[in-house]
Amino acid sequence: MRYIDPHIHMVSRTTDDYQRMAQSGCIAVTEPAFWAGFDRSSAAGFFDYFRQLTEFEPKRASQFGIRHFTWLCINPKEADDPGFAREVISIIPEFLQRPNVLGIGEIGLNKNTRNELTILEEQIALAEQHEQLILVHTPHLEDKLKGTRLIMDALSASKIDPGRILIDHVEEHTVGEVLDRGFWAGMTLYPDTKMTPQRATDVIEMFGTERIWMNSAGDWGCSDPLAVPKARLEMARRGHAPETIDKVTFENPKTFLSQSPKFQINAAVS
């Protein structure tokens, strides 16, 4: 079996995790730029982070036969100071041509503030200008529905085809609207919050398998880098066909990500 984990923060994971993921069938990961658990003190901190994502991490992944791709941005949690955010945004274009960069992400909203929305709009414009794919972070818990709608409105105001935008961390109350508006939807499998493998399988049963994927969003907090293979097992336990399981954990991410010509994986791997 093979799968893609399209949202995982490998800079926070150990090399043992790469090994276990490879043993479980992972052949590619995509890593959005996000919050490090603390606020960086300068734009130079982001410059170094973008180097780590585009130079060091792909090499570490390749030791285990895993292709590593990435997305660049200033994350919503650090985007509430527009001056600082713009300084970071100004260094992104020089990295966009690097071979493992697929687009802009994970952009979105955290507390749904006016400043966050302004910086979101500016990063959507950056993606539009450079013809990049977009990966979107949606806020947590009580802010999620409102934030998801604000984000979708900002995206719809651009000229970017919604088929080139993945809206992540959807839950039961947001997935329908995301799909109805033509976007792709990502389900994040977390041990406690967001989705469990069981709930994600419920969503597949209710909403179908088109334009939807699953990811672990593994990071420095409580998370599980093997969440996607665990969801595969849950789907199999419920009697889903191997083709259905492959579609949501391999074919769908491959289809979406292949809209970037840089996303190349070894199709012979099984």
Contacts with Zn ion by CB under 5 A lie at 34, 217
Beta pairing partners, 135 = 105, 166
In terms of CB distance, is 29 or 217 closer to Zn ion?
A: 217
Q: What is the DSSP string of 79-94?
A: -SSHHHHHHHHHHSGG
Beta pairing partners, 212 = 185
Query: Residue 32 CB, nearest distance to Zn ion (Å)?
Result: 5
Q: Among all chains, which residue has been given the structure tokens 């088109």?
A: 210
- The CA-atom distances, in angstroms, between 87 and each of 42, 43, 45, 101, 242 are 9, 6, 11, 20, 47
In terms of CB distance, is 29 or 85 closer to Zn ion?
A: 29
Cβ contacts of 201 within 8 Å, gap of 6 or more: 231, 234, 235, 238, 240
Q: What is the DSSP letter of 12?
A: G
CA atoms lying within 13 Å on the CB side of residue 82: 10
Cβ-contact 233, 245 below 8 angstroms: no
| Distance, CA of 9 to CA of 25 (rounded, Å) | 18
Cβ contacts of 49 within 8 Å, gap of 6 or more: 11, 33, 36, 40
In terms of CB distance, is 3 or 34 closer to Zn ion?
A: 34
